[in-house]
Every structure is written in structure tokens, then in C-alpha cells.
Structure 1
């Protein structure tokens, strides 16, 4: 129990002092934080090779469990609040410093040593052992940092609303990889037993959770400003920064500012590609067009703020009901489109589910909302997105003309053909 409490206390002390230096980077410079991060590299490696404590689940070293896990958490913090070009600086510094150390030791061997008065001589073998372990550990750190950044980015697509889980999963996965890699070298150099692998891994998973919680709390309460802009391209870390910022920009500019859904421009580009792929492969593709009935009356009665709230709520509803492979767009004021990777029957079912769910959408004064929709599916007569859209649009008009609050698919076109071309949207 004492060992466990001491390890937790060491993690809290390490994290607290390091984030204090990071927080002061604007006043004292980021170099102070980086020097503090790098200066403990020797101690981490030394403790990981000779200093172990026993816990019920195995043996572990504070150097690996606390200090190295904390270092990865600090590098992730550096990436989140700065960028990958900043993360590379301490890592490249450690790599070059360790290489310099090995080169100097090789030259030091050529000296003719003068013994001290008490007869002591330097233990070059120890320096050799530590040097190669440090080089191997830093090389792993280089790979760890790249994997951590890539994984953190990928998780952002699924866990953008859960930053704690995003950080914890990234740290757990990378520390698992690192534990396997460093133990392999440690086993051959120092003869570390298997208990070190198992105990160290369990301890690193616990450390990942502890550091993740502290990192999340720090980011939430102390770091709310935006990350700095990336610089040019020169190496892998700059490329990672550039790619992340570029993907985020593309994702942002392709979305509607009010609802967060993909906008009309993306509908035209993505839709054209999807129709072409469907015609080429024969895989089904359907289009569901949805329009809120009498939406103008909501703006007139309750104001545009309430109308905007309804549109945002509807966007969340559509995303929740659509399948993972479907794409949801806002293509007009109160008009939405869903590209459904499924046959006509599934698209009709999706439309009906949306129509029913709209009745439960909360509104001011309990006003009941309804939607009308049209469904069309790629077939032999479809040549482009415009063909598919025209058919779904005619079905939507048929639903409006037939009394609203309904979904219309193939089979209702006679209504449109009798009434002529579709009028303007005003008054829907």
C-alpha cells in the first residue's frame, strides 16, 4: 500500500511541477519546460534498469511508470497547445544528445587513466549499458510521439466531444507499445524478468488514467486559448501538424455554420462522387430530401432564435437516425438531404423514422412539428446527381401537395405530373 501511495504522490508532484513550467511558458519561455523535461531522461533510464518496487500484480520501476508516462503526457500537452513542430524539439535534442554521449564515451576509452588516491577507477561498462539503453529509449520515444499524435488525431473524429477518453486511449495504446519495446531491450541488457513486463504494463495503464485525468483538468481549467498556427513543412512532425490543421480546416469550411451539417457545396461534390460510384459498382444509393412544414410560421411566431434552435435540434436528430455510412446535409433554409447507402426500402424507412421522431422534437409553446420528404434511388435512368435530386425533389413536392407530414417515394409521381411544375418554396 505504501508503494502505491508513493507512486501516486510522485505522479502528482511530477505533473504539478511540469504544468507549472508549461503554464509560465509565455513569461519564462518554452525552453525552461523542455530542459526540465529532458534533464530527467538519464534518471528515467537509470531507474528503469535498476530501481524496482514490488506490488501485488508484479514489479515496476518509478522511472518507467511515473517519469516516462508523465513525459508522454507532457509531450501530448505540448502538441495540443502548441503543435508537432514544437514537440519535435525535445525529442530531436535527446536523440542527438544521446548519440553525442555514445561518441564521446568511445573516445574516452582511448585515454590512459590516472587512478584516484583511493584506487577507484571509472566504470565504463556502466556508462556503456546506460548509453545504449538511453539511445534505445529515445528512439522508442520518437516512434511513441508519432504514434501518439496520429492516434490522438484519429480518435478526434470519433471522440471530439470526449477529450478525456481521447487522451486516455492514446496514452494507454502508446504506453503498451512502449512497454513491449523497452522491456525487450531491458531483458537482453539487464536480464529483467517477465514480472517486470507484466507489472510495468499494469502500472503504466494506471498511470495513463491518472495523468489523463490531471491533463484533462488542466486543459479545462487553465488552458482555454487556441493553439498556435503551424509553420512550414520540413520533417515528419511538421507534416503531422500541417495535416491535422489542414484536415480540421477542410472539415470546418465544408460545414454549415448553424447546424454543423455538411453544406450545399459538399452535397454537390460528395453527391456527384457517390452517384458515380453507385453507377460504377452497382451498390445501392438513395437520396432522402426533407423539408420542415410551415417553418416560416415558427420564425414569425417565436422569432428567428427559436427557428435556429429548431434547425439545430433537427440536425442532431437526423445525424442520430442516419446510419454511420450515410451523409447528412443542410441544402437550404429548412431543407435537408441524406445520401443513404442502401436500397429504396431502407431509405423510405429512414424517412418514416425521421417523420415520426419530429413529432417529439421540443418547441416553444409545445408546437408540434412535422416534415415532408421525398425519396429517390439510383437506377438505370440515373446519369448524375441532378437526375437523382430532380426525382427526389418531385417526390418532396408531391408530399407537400398531398397534405404534408408524409414521405413519398416512387409511385406518387402522377400527383406531380397532373399539377405541373413545382412552385417556389414560400409558404411550405
Structure 2
């Protein structure tokens, strides 16, 4: 029987993680509210099961409500923080806390009624409702502390294991769920006289849950999310959605901050978005590479063929950048004949290869009116090797662009020097 319960325990953990991560993964299609509602609607069941429903496993008596579903909720909150922000994480926690206070208040008000007993075997138990309400209030207060703690600990561990995202995820879960087990068991022992032996069984079960969730998080993070991020980020487009105000608003927002000539994002948009892109990559334990691309001898193009032809050359360069870079990279017009590309999830070696591919593509496909090749020089810098903020990394890339020009142009320069001479 214990082995059957253990097998069911594992199935419940896998099913919970699979469902919740699916809702989180497709939040841009389904709406984040679907994930948040699913996260919150189970809170009563988690608390109820933690109070009354226990099963025997090989290492002790445990409640799936606490060991699987509450543990899963806390790990989901950490994942929500990783892909959204702290402001988004606060919303379900505040909602749960206020909703549980409302449950307690309603239970007190209901005592003033004189209820009818419509069936002999269905008698309202207001005392049970109050008891569960206070347990949920205590559990949500702990959840608030747990959520703050798990986020802060995850970030602090980044000082030591910046690119070990899964390890940080699991250590944070081990520590905060141990804290939660102590805090919630104290309430169970006080309100329901739950025996001390249950504490150790529940703690072991939560540690097992963290191992299961950590393994599934690793599979998702490295095999699913990074390969399928583009598909998840696309919004559903249909005949009705295209007619809505939100679709038109999003389209207007997407076109705001575009360079009128080349169609890429402008410098203002870069100053807003590029720092966020670097911070998000570093928070996830990833590198982010910045490229500065400068058209060689562009003044000669303008002087020799006119500014209209120079504009056509700039548009052609921007077009090659857009087709060569990946969908999660961003291209900005920095000014004049200079462009900046921000490439999250790209280390320095990968950035150099990408830059060289851009240099070669432009040199072999962009021509002046008399069929002379147009070349570019590129400076490459990477966070966190060259700094952790966008301004510092951009400055390093700019210095390397200057070095590329001094080296004869039509080349790529990284932290180890020239990669390719023309």
C-alpha cells in the first residue's frame, strides 16, 4: 500500500506541474489570469487536505495537499517571478490573503442567521468553516513570507551560481519549504492537535517534491521553453481578435519607437528595452551579447551617389540584419549609419559567430549603384563578461567597433581582438 501511495504521489506531482506549467507557458495566448486563477482556486483544497487527509508513504505519513499541491504552488510562484516580475507575483498572494480574510468574516456573519435544515444528513458546519478560514489565513500569510524568501534567496544564490538556474531553483525550494513546514505544522498542531511524527513525514515529502519539480523544471527549461519560446510568445490571431481594440492597440504599440527610414527600432526604444533584456537574461543565468554594426565609408556613399541612394543602402543593411538575426534578438538604429543588436541567451563566442555571419551576409549582398560591395565593421561585447548593465556593455562594444575601424574595417572585433579581416 505504501508503494502504491508513493506512485500516486509522484503521478500527482507530475500532473500538477505539467498542467500549471502549460498554463504558464501559454500565458500570452490564454491570458495570465487563467494561470493565476488555477493557482488560487486550489487553496481551499490544499488547506483542507493538509488538515484532514493523510496517506502512508515509505518514509512517513504525509498529506498530498501540503506536500504536492502547496509545494507546487510555491515553486510555480518562483517560476512566475522568473518569467514576469515581482509586481505580477504579488497579485495572487494579495488576492489569496484578502479572499481568506473574507472567508473568515463571512463565517462570522453566517452565525447570525438561523439556517434551515433541508436534509437530515446535510447540516451546515460554520465552526468548520471558521476553522478552515483561519488556517487558510495563516497559510496565506506564510505563503507571502515564503514567496518573498524564495525570490530573495534565488537572487542571492545568483552571486554564487549565476548560470546554475536549476540548482538555484532547487536550493531555494529546499530552504523555504523547510521553513514553511515548521510554520504550517505549528498551526496544525495548535488547531487540530496533529502529532509530531507527521512533521517529519511531511518535510521529507516536500523535499521529494522539490526534487521532482526541479527535474521537471530542468526538462522544461532546457528542452521545451528555449526551443518553443517563439511559438508561445505569438498571440492567437483570428477574425474576431483582429477586430478588437486590444489588437489594434497592440499593433500601434508595436509600431511606436520605430525608425522611419529603416523600420527597425529607434534609439529611444533601445534605451528603454535593451537594459531590461540584459537584466532578464542575467536573472535567468544566461549571457546576453550586444553588437554595434557600422557601415564602412558611408560618407563616401552619400557623397558619391546622393543621400537617397545612401538611404537605400541603410535600408538594405537593416533588412539583412532582420533576416539574419534570430526572432528573440532586437535591432535598433543607434544613429546615422550605426545599428545595435541585442542578443539575449548568446555567449561571447556565439555572438562573434553571429557577427561574422552578419558581416559576410552584408558584404556579399548589399551593393552600391555601381555594384561595389558595402561592408560593415562590428564590435562585440557580452554581459556579464564585460559588465552587468547595458551602458557598460554597450561602451565595451563601442570601443571594439573603434578597434575594428582602426584594423582596416570590414571585420569583427571581440574581447580577444579581430575575428575576421576583409
TM-score range, shorter chain: 0.5 to 0.7
Checking the alignment, whether the CA contact within 8 Å between 1:73 and 1:215 is kept in structure 2 is: no
- Contact kept, 8 Å, 2:288 with 2:383, in 1: the verdict is no
Q: Is the 8 A contact 1:45 1:134 kept in 2?
A: yes
For 1:88, the equivalent position in structure 2 comes to 90
Quick check: 2:6–2:58 contact (8 Å CA) kept in 1?
no
Separation (CA, whole Å) in 1 of partners of 2:190 and 2:143: 19
Counting only pairs closer than 5 Å after superposition, residues 146-185 of structure 1 correspond to structure 2 as: 146-185=148-187
Contact 1:167/1:212 (<8 A) preserved? yes
Correspondence for 1:17 = 19
RMSD (Å), alpha carbons: 3.6
The 1:148–1:258 alpha-carbon spacing in structure 2 relative to 1, beyond 3 Å, is closer
Pick aligned residue for 2:102 from 100, 105, 122? 100
Residues 186, 262 of structure 1: alpha-carbon distance in 2 compared, 3 angstrom cutoff = same
Q: Which SS does the other structure have where 1:54 is aligned?
A: strand
CA distance in 2, matches of 1:119, 1:262: 71
Mapped to 1, the partners of 2:115 and 2:169 lie a distance apart of 51
**Equivalent residues in 2 for 1:302-341 (5 A)?**
308=414, 311=416
Aligned partner of 1:121 in structure 2 is 123
Q: Deviations over 1:59-112 (max 9, x none)?
A: 110001110111111111111111111111111110110011111111111112
Q: For residue 55 of structure 1, report the CA deviation from its aligned partner.
A: 1.9
- 1:248 to partner: Cα distance: 6.1
1:43-122 matches, within 5 Å, as 43-118=45-120, 120-122=122-124
CA distance in structure 1 between the aligned counterparts of 2:82 and 2:167, rounded to whole angstroms: 15
Write the distance in 1 (CA, Å) between the matches of 2:23 and 2:165. Answer: 23
Matches within 5 A, 1:126-141: 126-141=128-143
Cα shift at 1:139: 0.5
Instruction: Give the drift of 1:260.
Output: 4.7
2:150–2:172 CA contact under 8 A, matched in 1: yes
SS of equivalent residue, structure 2 residue 158: helix
CA contact (8 A) 2:103 2:133 kept: yes
Higher-Rg structure is 1
Task: Write the distance in 2 (CA, Å) between the matches of 1:11 and 1:261.
Answer: 38
Q: How many aligned positions are there? A: 264
Q: CA deviation at 1:120?
A: 4.3
1:37–1:246 distance in 2 versus 1, CA, 3 Å: closer
For 1:159 and 1:138, locate their aligned partners in 2 and report how far apart those are by CA, in whole Å.
30
- 1:197-346 pair list within 5 angstroms: 197-224=199-226, 245=279, 257=381, 260-261=384-385, 308=414, 311=416
2:39 maps to 37
Q: Could you report, residue by residue, the CA deviation over 1:159-209 in whole angstroms, capped at 9, with x for unpaired residues?
A: 122111110001111100000000000001111111111011111111001
Contact 1:258–1:308 under 8 Å retained in 2: no
Measured after TM superposition, the shift of residue 51 of structure 1 is 0.6
CA pair 113-144 structure 1, distance change in 2 beyond 3 A: same
Counterpart secondary structure, 1:87: helix
Distance 1:10 1:248 in 2: 33
Deviation string for 1:337-372 (max 9, x for gaps)? Answer: xxxxxxxxxxxxxxxxxxxxxxxxxxxxxxxxxxxx
8 Å CA contact 1:91, 1:138 repeated in 2: yes
Residue number in structure 2 paired with 1:188:
190
What TM-score, normalized by structure 2, do the two folds share?
A: 0.56
Q: Tell me how far apart the structure 1 counterparts of residues 385 and 64 of structure 2 sit (CA, whole Å).
A: 47
Q: 2 CA distance for matches of 1:144 and 1:117? A: 42
CA distance 1:23–1:185, change in 2 (3 Å) = same
Alignment partners' CA distance in 1, 2:383 and 2:127? 65
Q: CA deviation at 1:246?
A: 10
Instruction: Please report how far the alpha carbon of residue 38 of structure 1 lies from its aligned counterpart in structure 2 after TM superposition.
Output: 0.6
What is the CA distance between 1:304 and its match in structure 2?
Answer: 7.5
User: 1:169 and 1:125, CA in 2 relative to 1: closer, same or farther beyond 3 A?
Assistant: same
Alignment TM-score, normalising by the size of structure 1: 0.55
CA–CA distance in 2 between the matches of 1:115 and 1:124?
Answer: 13
